[in-house]
Every structure is written in structure tokens, then in C-alpha cells.
Structure 1
Amino acid sequence: MKKSALLEAIAGKNRGLLATETDKQAILAAVAQLEDRNPTPRPIEAPELLDGNWRLLYTTSGGLLNIDALPLLKLGQIYQCIRAKEAKVYNIAEVYGLPYLEGIVSVTARFTPLSERRVQVQFQRSISGLQRLIGYQTPSEFIEQIEMGKTFPAIDFNINSENQQAWLDTTYLDNDLRISRGNQGSVFVLTKA
């Protein structure tokens, strides 16, 4: 089965941090084979499948993987939480380092469907800080606090979205696996959390 081949190829690669060039080629080939068998050819029209908290299994995104390159920090779990009804997405990266200094880096965005598989993404807010000070427990609780208008004792600022041209294609979607490709050529493989 193509899905198990992809999951096997990304196993042990720490979301891409440990992937060699050979690994990356094999993973991208497995991704392409699975995309050819997408059971949901119009994913934007399937909000019941898109909606929810997705945990990142693998990416080629340097922006995400480079968080791990910061001194004393290690990248923890990364989530992309989609709220289809509100047309919002929350990207949340958990960061670990020294004891009691666990952090979080998050970005909130609004999305607009452009086709049956592509959305335009407009980043709106960024929140970065220590998990303890923010009161971070889970992605769902954190999103609930954001939606209630809470301000956080963190680096918390609005993002000017006027000149943003970001988009994301969902190229594979089933009940528990999603593959997306971004405008900067990045690939994302996620599982329902």
C-alpha cells in the first residue's frame, strides 16, 4: 500500500531533520505516488475531513526545520490546526531546551479558497513565548484562548498581510493523512492528532 510506504519512509526522520538527500528523494517519490491516488480530489470542498488538529510528520520547509538550529533549542511537536468553518489555520510549534524554558512559536492565519485544492493564506498574528507563562497545555486549549481574545505575556503581534502571496495546495486527503505543498516548494505530511 502506498500510504504505508510513505509512513515507513518518513519513520525516524524527525520531521525531516534527520533525512539525508537520498531519504528526501525516496520520501518525495512516495509522496508523489500517494498524491496520484488522492481519494479526495476536491479537498477544499470536504471541510469535515480538513477540519481538526493535524500533527506534522515530515516537511521540507526550512522555515520550520531551522527552529531546531537555534542554540539550546530543540523542535518538539508541530501542529497545523484547521478550523474550516471559520476559514482559519493555526500553526503551532512546541520548542524545548533548558528545563522550565519550554517554548511555543505560533502563527494564526485566515485562508480563502482559490480552487478545489488551493487556498490563499494570509498570516494575521504571531505569538512566541514560554509555555509556562502563556499557560500552554494543548493546541485546542491555546486556540480557544486566542479566539476568546486573550493577550499573552509573550511576543504577541499582528502581521501585516497586505503584500502576502502565500498559498497552500492540499494534494492528498483522507480520514487521517494530509499532504500539502506550499508556494515556496515545501512539502508537508501530516496526520490527524
Structure 2
Amino acid sequence: MVPMSPAMTFTGQAISIKSRRETPRRSRKPFTIFACLKQESARNPAPAVSPLKERLLSGIDNLDRGLSIDPDADTMTPEEADVEDLIEELEDNYPPQVPTKDPRNSGSWRLKYTSSSITRYFGGVTGLQRLLPNASVGEIIQEIDSEGGKCMFSEKISFEVPIVGNEVCLDIRIEGRMRAASEERQLWEPESVKCGVFSWFADSWKTFRAFQVADITYLDDELRITRGQTGSVSVFQKALSDDDKVG
């Protein structure tokens, strides 16, 4: 059975979240000095990108996309700190050129890691699993169509039906519009949440705020890194199989 719209429930829960800023990026360098960084890298060659990506993805693998980490923790774990350092190396040494117009930005992207305290608090993009018995969040896919101005998240949630004990899998979709606000920044405006024949308006869901503003700080054929307004970072890996694609 699909639960009723959790919009009002989530609104109340979101108010109870401690007023804690996202873990700020250390030694944050604004986009305006990327040209200076490129000049400096000419004197000091950047490390090879492939080993950095491999180390980053390896370090992320054991963090369950960051969803199992306490959202109220005041300090990062050593594993998180290592991941943050690797992310910064990629961002600082390989800044993207006008990523919002880069065709590689479009496609299906699997969420591999996020430091967003909102997403960690709700345990996913929608937080619906908090309303279901013995529920768990599966893959989270972001589908971007930059040319068409569309963006959709897909979140798979599995839960156990009480008494019967059968497992049910829900495919939740959040559809919305996406537009470029600058050369690096994209704005996502969620419009609807859909699950089977059920549909709800998305404007009152607090959980989506973590992904509504995204500065693209790294982009290639396989990896995409974005930062939110409060410094939260999200790492996406290209979803290559047809089963991973949304829609």
C-alpha cells in the first residue's frame, strides 16, 4: 500500500532539524580564480585524474552514499575527511569550463555520495522510507535533460508488508524543471512526486532542497560533482546500463 502524501508530515519534521549548516568546504576557492589556478597548475602539474577518481569512488563505497552518517555530527569522520580531500583535488585541478552547457552534463547519474544533512536526516531524496515498516533506500538516479530543461530523480524503496512479510519495492519519481542560472550553477524546480498511479505536488517537500541549487564543480564522461548553497557536496557517477535510466 502506498502511503498518503507526506508533505505536511515532512514539513513538521523539517522544522525540528537542528539549525546546523552543512559541513563547509575547506579552503573553498571561488570560480572567479579558476583561471589563476590553471596558470599555477602549469608550473605545478596536476595529479593524474584517473587515480584520483578511483581513490574517491573506493573511499565512497563504504559510506552508503553518506546516508548512514549522523546528520548532527559536529565533525567529519576520517573517512569523510579523506573523501572531501579527494573531491577538492579534483575540483581544484580540473575545474570544468561552462559545465551547464556541456553535453556531458545530460544523462543518467547515480548518486554515490552526499554530505547534505537534510538528505542524511531523511535517509534519502524523498524520506518516504521513514513512513514504511523495515524500509530501505535502493539506488537513487538523477536524469538530466539540459537541452529540454528537465530533471528527474528516481528513488527505489523496499519495505516489508506487516504480518504477510512480503517485500514490496516502490519506484518513486520526482519530476521538475531545470535551468542554468550561470555558467556553473543549475537550478532545479521540483513539480511533482509520482509513485505508480499516485501523484503529489512537490512544492511543500522540504527534502528536495539539497538538490535544488547545484554548482557543477567537476564534470567528465564518468563523474559529476556538485555543491549546494551551504557547501554540501554530492558525487554522481554516470549510470551506463539501460536499467539505470529514468523514464
| Shorter-chain TM-score range | 0.7 to 0.9
Q: Counterparts of 1:100 and 1:58 in 2: how far apart (Å)?
A: 26
Q: Counterparts of 2:230 and 2:154 in 1: how far apart (Å)?
A: 19
Q: In 2, are the aligned partners of 1:87 and 1:110 still within 8 Å (CA)?
A: yes
Q: How is 1:28-177 mapped onto 2 (pairs within 5 angstroms)?
A: 28-38=84-94, 40-46=96-102, 48-65=103-120, 66-67=122-123, 70=130, 71-98=133-160, 99-127=166-194, 129=195, 134=196, 152=197, 154=198, 156-160=199-203, 166-177=212-223
Give the Å deviation of 1:114: 1.3
Q: Counterparts of 1:76 and 1:178 in 2: how far apart (Å)?
A: 20
Q: In 2, are the aligned partners of 1:39 and 1:174 still within 8 Å (CA)?
A: no
RMSD: 2.4
- State the one-letter code of the partner of 1:79: I
Q: Counterparts of 2:119 and 2:169 in 1: how far apart (Å)?
A: 17
2:83 is matched with which residue: 19, 27, 32? 27
Q: Deviations over 1:68-94 (max 9, x none)?
A: 672411110000100112111101111
Long gaps (5+) in structure 2: 1-50, 70-75, 161-165, 240-247
Q: Counterparts of 1:9 and 1:179 in 2: how far apart (Å)?
A: 15
Aligned-pair identity (%):
28
Q: Counterparts of 1:120 and 1:57 in 2: how far apart (Å)?
A: 20
More strand by share: 1
Q: TM-score scaled by structure 2?
A: 0.61
Q: TM-score scaled by structure 1?
A: 0.76
- State the one-letter code of the partner of 2:233: V
- State the one-letter code of the partner of 1:159: A
SS at match of 2:64: coil
Q: Is 1:185 matched with 2:231?
A: yes
Long gaps (5+) in structure 1: 135-151
More helix by share: 2
Q: In 2, are the aligned partners of 1:56 and 1:78 still within 8 Å (CA)?
A: yes
Q: Counterparts of 1:74 and 1:159 in 2: how far apart (Å)?
A: 22
Q: Counterparts of 1:63 and 1:72 in 2: how far apart (Å)?
A: 21
Q: Deviations over 1:30-55 (max 9, x none)?
A: 11111112263211121x20111101
Q: Counterparts of 2:115 and 2:229 in 1: how far apart (Å)?
A: 12
- State the one-letter code of the partner of 1:27: V
- State the one-letter code of the partner of 2:226: S
Q: Which moved more, 1:80-89 or 1:92-101?
A: 92-101
Q: Counterparts of 2:232 and 2:158 in 1: how far apart (Å)?
A: 24
Q: In 1, are the aligned partners of 2:177 and 2:190 still within 8 Å (CA)?
A: yes
Give the Å deviation of 1:6: 1.0
Give the Å deviation of 1:67: 3.1
Q: Deviations over 1:158-187 (max 9, x none)?
A: 3349xx984111110000100011224321
